[in-house]
Structure formats: structure tokens, C-alpha cells
Amino acid sequence: MVLGGFLDKLKRGLSKTRRVLSTPVGELFRRARQVDAAFLEELEEILIGADVGVETTMSIAEDLRRAARDTGTADPEELYGILKRDVESRLRKGESDVTLADSSPTVILVAGVNGTGKTTSIAKLAAYYMGQGKKVLLSASDTFRAAATEQLGIWADRIGADIVRHKMGSDPAAVAFDACEAAAARGVDILIVDTAGRLHTDSNLMRELSKIKSVVARKIPGAPHEVLLVLDATAGQNAISQARNFKQAIEITGIFLAKLDGTAKGGIVVAICDKLGIPVKFVGLGEGADDIEPFDAELFSRALFE
Ligand SMILES: Nc1nc2c(ncn2[C@@H]2O[C@H](COP(=O)(O)OP(=O)(O)O)[C@@H](O)[C@H]2O)c(=O)[nH]1
Ligand SMILES: [Mg+2]
């Protein structure tokens, strides 16, 4: 992909983010005379309506109350600045770069419940790194459903990435094992491993994830360098409980927040960063391979409030 095209797409992605993220908070501050109890109540309503979540909303409002008390001001403009900085620092908790291996390949394990956007997000990640001139290999380790391997295969063809696949029902860790060997043999920079989002039981699923993880760790030093959990932004607060479940079974190093377009509400990003203690690394903004954007706390807080 030529650089100009890449920048254009990034810009288009950003304008989408802005549309989703924008809240009436700026408007509220602009028309207010002073920040009082009624104002704070309205602010809380907006934040909860934007999927920030009750706890995080209360904590943000409490910070604002305290700031008003400490500074002795009820001036909306001043307190608006304080609110923006407060939310930005909450988002910063969630900001960190993707860990790439010192010597290739970097292995990125991708987990998540079915339907959250896992396979699509993998295709986006692959296209993103291929756009940076990296050699990418996909491991079709969701062998639970035939359609899953097929779908990843279609994406691989579409974006021109290599893929390692076995037939349906085979051992997902064995696919990952072969993919690691292929990655080393072919000089691959980034190996991305798809996993099942549902098995017969949750405990099977979590055991399988751990098994894939340990196979990959044995084959490639330091791997997996990232374990990304794909969450569906339109799932709202449910996304947070999903993340908590996965976190119990496997160490998640980052979140890929998919579907932050359409019906998603931007406040979910604040809730995720604030409550999970897992950095958001990428967001998905549509169904195309280019609809991906690295997470940027400053940009997001601006998009939320300005
Ligand atoms: N609007 C939108 N749709 C998405 C996004 N990511 C994935 N999808 C759609 O969500 C559905 C499920 O995606 P898929 O990748 O198959 O999910 P998986 O079951 O977790 O692997 C598909 O229809 C995708 O096109 C996104 O960022 N935005
Ligand atoms: Mg899938």
C-alpha cells in the first residue's frame, strides 16, 4: 500500500471515530452558567448513556466535585478542562504500544467470544502490518467450526497473507505448532494465531487457549508477545464481563476493540480502560481490512468531548 493511501484511510478512520465518540458533554458545558448539583446530574446521565458505565461515571463526577471544591470554582470552562484531563488520564491507563519481538517472528495470539469480530480483526491486523512492509502468517487455530478456517482462508486470499490450516476438528495447538515452524522457516515477521471463541464448555475453551499458548512459547522464544482479546464495542458493559472471564484463564496483554462504528457508544472505551487495567491497542471501525486504527488516548478524549 502506498503511504499516501494509508494516510488517507487513517484520516477516514479518524473521522469515523469522531462520529461515534462524540458526546453532548461539550454542549452541556457550553450552555451552563455554573457547575452545580443539577449540572453534575445531567453530566452523569450523558456519560452513563454513552456507555461509560455507572462506576466510572460516578468516579469521574466525584473527581469533578472535588476539583470544584478544591479550587473553589463553579466556572464551566475551567471545570470542563479538568474533566477532559481526568478522562484523558483514564484513557492513558489503556495506552501502550504493541510489543514486537526483538528478533522475528512476533507472535500475536488472538482470543475472544464468537461473533465479536475476531477473524475480521485478525485480517485487519495482518493488513496493517503488511502495509508496513512486514511479512505476515496466519494460523487457523479455530478448528472447532469448518466455517472459521474457511473464513480466515478467504481473508488470507483477499489481503495476500500466508496461512497455515488443518482440517476441521484437528488439534488447534498442532496448527499453531506448524505455523510456528513455518514462520521460522519462511522468515515471517508477524504470526497471528486465530483461536476458537466457543467450545462445548468454557473450561475446555480456556484450557485450549492455555495449551496453544504453551506450544507457541516452546517453539518461539518470548512468544506469544501479545495476547489480544477482541471485544465487541456494541456489547457495552457485557464486553467488560467477557474480558474478566478471559483474564482469569489467560494473561491478556491488550484489547482489540472491534465494531466501534455503527451502533457502538464511545464511552465504552473509557469504561474498558478505566476498569480492566488492560490496554486497548487497536480499534476496529468497519468490516473492511483497512478499518483499523491504533488506539490513541489523546485523540480519543478529544473526540469524546470536543
Ligand atoms: N461494523 C463492524 N463490523 C465488524 C467489525 N469487525 C467485525 N465485524 C463483523 O462482525 C461479524 C463477526 O465477525 P467475525 O470476524 O466473523 O467474528 P468472530 O466470530 O469473532 O471471528 C462479521 O459480520 C464482521 O463483518 C467492525 O469493526 N465493524
Ligand atoms: Mg472467527
CB atoms within 10 A of CB 92: 15
CB atoms within 10 A of CB 290: 20
Residue 129 has what pLDDT?
Answer: 97
Collect residues with CB below 5 Å from ion ligand 2: 118-119, 148
Mutate to test the pocket of ligand 1, among 12, 120, 193 (most ligand atoms within 8 A of CB): 120
How far apart are alpha carbons 236 and 26 in whole angstroms? 22
pTM comes to 0.90
291: Cβ below 6 Å to ligand 1? yes
144 C-alpha vs ligand 2 centroid, how far in Å? Answer: 10
Residue 94 has what pLDDT?
Answer: 77
How far apart are alpha carbons 143 and 140 in whole angstroms? 7
> At 169, is the secondary structure helix, strand, or coil?
coil
Give bridge partners of residue 136 from the DSSP assignment.
190
> At 165, is the secondary structure helix, strand, or coil?
coil
13: Cβ below 6 Å to ligand 1? no
Strands across the sheet with 190-195, in order? Answer: 162-164, 136-141, 190-195, 106-111, 226-232, 254-258, 280-284, 292-294
- Beta pairing class for 162-164 and 292-294: unpaired
| Residue given cell 508477545 in the structure block | 225
287: Cβ below 6 Å to ligand 1? yes
Instruction: Spell out the per-residue pLDDT of the chain, length 306, in tens.
Output: 444 554 455 455 556 666 667 778 888 999 999 999 999 999 999 999 989 999 999 999 999 999 999 999 999 999 999 999 999 999 988 788 888 888 889 999 999 999 999 999 999 999 999 999 999 999 999 998 888 899 999 999 999 999 999 988 889 999 999 999 999 999 999 999 999 887 667 788 889 999 999 999 999 999 999 999 999 999 988 999 999 989 988 899 999 999 988 778 888 889 999 999 899 999 998 999 999 989 988 888 887 877
How far apart are alpha carbons 8 and 244 in whole angstroms? 36
Closest ligand 1 atom, residue 142 Cα: 21
120: Cβ below 6 Å to ligand 1? yes
Residue 197 has what pLDDT?
Answer: 85
